[in-house]
Amino acid sequence: MKPSVIVFPASNCDRDAAVALEQASGKKPAMVWHGEASLPDTDFIVLPGGFSYGDYLRCGAMAGKSPIMSAVIEKAKAGTPVIGICNGFQILCETGLLPGALLRNAKLNFVCRTVTLKVENNQSMFTSGFEKNAYVDFPVAHHDGNYFADDETLNRLDGDGRVALRYVDNPNGSARNIAGILNDAGNVFGLMPHPERVISPLLGGIDGTRFFKGIIDAAA
């Protein structure tokens, strides 16, 4: 695997994502500045968490217009795996690579704690490290993580098995407890929780290690 991590102004989880990927794959990912017009030779792309452009306008809206995103969108449409974590999920929705939107949390507060998730679909490369219906613990840290889509879209996501992760105790009001979804082709995945923050017992858990190791194994 040749991973790349996109770095936006005010990204704050890009290095965490890079460490998690290197731990899982043994390879240092390319760190790609958002202002670049093209990607290096890559076969896996991460849009990390943070507060790109200070979350002005809407979270992820300005980052979605960054020069590098044209290349990311092209790669995604050609089948390259792309994962968006937290702010990265917001960016994927803003660019139309994933349906729906991430709204302000239902109680209008910033949520920062570990949450339990249920693995609804483990047939994706992104969740293949877990058993179906397994429970995993990832941290969340967001103010705009309330996933919203119209009923038709929600029914389609459910019917097609594209809801990969659901909250057990919904921290933000997300429709149908959705924490992470796949695109129709299954190569684009967005989730609000942060697996890259639990890759060592010293960091509070290793469910993130299983997450990234599963991705590497599935891509082998």
CA distance 164 to 166: 7
Cα three-residue angle 204-175-80, rounded to 5 degrees: 70
- Rg from Cα positions in the chain: 15
196 is a catalytic site residue: yes
What backbone phi and psi angles, to 5 degrees, belong to 15?
-70, -35
Cα three-residue angle 71-215-67, rounded to 5 degrees: 15
Contact between 59 and 49 under an 8 Å Cβ cutoff? The reply is: no
β-strand partners of 180: 165, 191
93 is a catalytic site residue: no
194 is a catalytic site residue: yes
Helices (H), 9-95: 14-25, 67-77, 87-94
Residue among 59, 86, 94, 120 flagged as catalytic: 86
Residues 107, 53, 178, 146, Cα dihedral to 10°: 20
CA distance 206 to 170: 22
Residue among 34, 93, 142, 196 flagged as catalytic: 196
Residue among 93, 94, 142, 194 flagged as catalytic: 194
User: Which active-site residues does the annotation give?
Assistant: 86, 194, 196
